[in-house]
Amino acid sequence: MFFTRCLFKIAEEDLGRHLNLPFIDKLRVYVRGGRGGNGLKKYGGIGGPGGSILVRGQRHLTLRNVYEKNLPKRYVASDGEHSHKTSLNARPGENLVINVPLGIQILRDNGELVDEINDIDDQCIVAHGGAGGNFKTHFEGQPGEATMINFDLKILADVGFVGYPNAGKSTLLSMLSRTHPAISPVPFTTLHPQLGTVIFDDGRSFTIADLPGLIEGSHTKMGLGSRFLKHTLRSKLLLFVIDINGFQLELRSPVRSAFDSIVFLTKELELYQPSLLNKMAILAINKIDQLEDKTKLQELHYALDNYKEILKNEYEEKWCPKNFFHFEHIVEISGKYGTHCDHLCSILRRSLDEYANREQKSVKFSFL
């Protein structure tokens, strides 16, 4: 019955396009408040106000769920009742509630921020119902507010992965958490954000997000990672996952060393949003199982210790970030075999505790 009601306006050949969508992090919908009921002039009766459209946060929900429940993407609240002899003060129309996932920004088409939904208690009205008919309106019910709004999801994850395609982020995610993302040596295996949860024996847990790999130019909407850069904004800390062997997008592309990768990724984040470089960051040097000796590791550590001099002497100015990440911790790992992954989890946990303590202190000072 659900599909009979919702899909009858969609051509049969288009159903696959609607029901097999990939990850959705943006959704544009039409909302309209209900019309107010007419008043009763003879007796001074007042029409019922139209229902309003509310947006409310709900856990365990995705934007895809929201879309699939209403494929036409139209939300219209019910009208208020008309006033009559036996009910001079007519009943209002019922409000219509749109449940959305947490981490949603509600935007108008011009980019104006209406509100944010970050908690299950958060809700806001996005379209008010029309006033019921009364002497001010000559007892005619007024139309409800009608507009287009956009739901923009920004994933709420404690730890956000940053790295080039094929750096081993998905492998590391599956090793650290209980998720099983697609894993392949082919770049861009991760086509949309993957969320995982790290759970400790004492019950403590935190969430991690593997985002599609960035490439040079991601801040200008190049590559798959460009669309998901916004999700790094809400991560409490960033985990750089770097292939110790470097990165090459394709055969005709230049080979980037591990240090090159850090420099160019930092530059991409800076160009997208400079404030990202103020976030706490941890560096995971991945695929150490492929090393024959420690030469590459020694070269990378030397470059990180002397990055100012190296950037000045060996890189074009356009590639040099104005600021550079100060990595709180540097961990050498093998995501494939789990080498030092337990140690990495412990570091992430301690770092998140430090983040929480800093936030508490900043809140206390704000009240002084």
CA distances from 134 to 34, 43, 92 (A): 16, 11, 14
Q: What is the pLDDT of residue 253?
A: 76
Alpha helices in 204-294 (DSSP H): 258-272
Separation CA 63–CA 352 (nearest Å): 27
Separation CA 186–CA 308 (nearest Å): 33
Domains and CATH numbers, the chain: 2-153 (2.70.210.12), 159-366 (3.40.50.300)
Residue with tokens 């110790």: 244
Could you read off the pLDDT tens digit of each residue along the chain, which spans 368 residues?
334 334 334 343 343 344 455 568 889 999 999 999 999 999 999 999 999 999 999 988 888 899 999 989 999 999 999 999 999 999 999 999 999 998 899 999 998 999 999 888 899 999 999 999 999 999 999 999 999 999 998 877 899 999 888 888 888 888 888 654 443 343 334 446 777 888 888 888 888 888 765 645 444 444 444 466 777 888 899 999 999 999 887 778 788 899 999 999 999 899 888 999 999 999 999 999 999 999 999 999 999 999 999 999 999 998 899 999 999 999 999 999 999 999 999 999 999 999 988 887 765 555 45
Which helix (H) or strand (E) segment holds residue 251: the answer is none
Q: What is the pLDDT of residue 8?
A: 37
Q: How many Cα atoms within 13 Å fall on the side-chain side of residue 58? A: 13
Closest CA to 256 of 324, 315, 210: 315
Q: What is the pLDDT of residue 342?
A: 92
Separation CA 321–CA 308 (nearest Å): 10
Q: What is the pLDDT of residue 126?
A: 98
Provide, for the chain, the percentages of residues in helix, strand and coil under a 3-state DSSP scheme, each rounded to the nearest 5: 30, 25, 45
DSSP string, 284-315: EEE-GGG-SSSHHHHHHHHHHHTHHHHHHHHS
Q: Is 183 helix (H, G, I), strand (E, B) or coil?
A: coil
Question: Cβ neighbours of residue 286 under 8 Å, at least 6 residues apart?
Answer: 167, 168, 172, 241, 242, 243, 244, 333, 334, 335
Separation CA 9–CA 6 (nearest Å): 8
Q: What is the pLDDT of residue 182?
A: 43
Separation CA 360–CA 281 (nearest Å): 19
User: Hey, how many other C-beta atoms are within 10 angstroms of the C-beta on 148?
Assistant: 12
Closest CA to 175 of 341, 30, 348: 341
